[in-house]
Amino acid sequence: MNLNLFNDVPDGLTRRARSFVRAHAVKVDVRPVEGHRQWWLERGIPAAVIDRMAAYQERWGGLLLPPASQYDGGPKYFDPDSPESDSEGWWFEAGMQRTAVPYAFMISPSGEFGIHADRWAPLHSTVEGWVESLALAHHASLWAKQVTRLVGDEVDDIELDGYEPVREVMGLADTWWRGPDSLVAFHSGEAEALGFPGGRTALIYSGLDEWGLRGGVDAGTS
């Protein structure tokens, strides 16, 4: 597997996320989607679905990011594969797992990024949201004076009075909240996809100054 610096950072990310990708991501060689087009067409995959996969690969293909704190690190790297359909439309894999987890990382018919097991759990509205979440977790862990992890029913004890959603992560099952001196990340994807409420997790990054709370976010982003 050939690794190269990922210099062509996709647009639409905050300055924080762009810096994170430039500093910590590498580019992996992947086989072009176009090489599979005829094979998929012969098996009934619509051309429009293959076009979506090709566009995804053009934007994100081969991007290998540092492991996420949840979901056993997330996809190893972005690379579309395995198109399949259901009553909602056509889905495809976002990238292979790093480890043996009981779900796949998928892109939904509407472009959401999430995990699919017994049921679908959309983590973020877009792939950009997942990348922003990784970048924010890296940033917050560097600047927080303390990181507290809560699981299961403990998550219900977190008070969010005075907090605001961090919009750039485009959270669905996974959300981030910004308070006066802390950031809180909620991760509910595994609980939703596996029907396991005890799998909910929250990470509280406390003791943050203004840079720790917002550093690297472009004006008007959140």
Which phi and psi (to 5°) does residue 175 adopt?
A: -135, 160
The answer to whether 152 touches 198, Cβ cutoff 8 Å, is: yes
* 89-109 pLDDT, tens digit each: 999 999 999 999 999 999 999
Q: Which of 1-10, 143-152, 171-180 has the lowest mean pLDDT?
A: 1-10
The Cα angle at residue 151 between residues 148 and 155, in degrees rounded to 5: 85
How does the average pLDDT of the chain come out, rounded? Answer: 93
Q: Which two tokens stand for residue 217?
A: 């976010």
The answer to whether 19 touches 6, Cβ cutoff 8 Å, is: no
- DSSP per position, 72-132: GGSBSS---EEEEEETTEEEEEEE-BSS--SSEEEE-TT--EEEESSSEEEEESSHHHHHH
Confidence bin at 216 (pLDDT 50/70/90): confident
The pLDDT of residue 42 is 96
**Does position 1 have pLDDT exceeding 60, yes or no?**
no
pTM: 0.94
Listed residue (184, 185, 183) closest to 215, CA to CA: 183
Does residue 200 sit in helix, strand or coil?
A: coil
Q: CA–CA separation, 36 vs 79, rounded Å?
A: 13
Q: How many C-beta neighbours within 10 Å does residue 14 have? A: 20
The answer to whether 216 touches 200, Cβ cutoff 8 Å, is: no
Q: Which two tokens stand for residue 81?
A: 């594969």
Nearby residues of 173 by Cβ (< 8 Å), 6 or more positions away:
114, 121, 122, 123, 187, 188, 189, 192
Which phi and psi (to 5°) does residue 132 adopt?
A: -60, -40
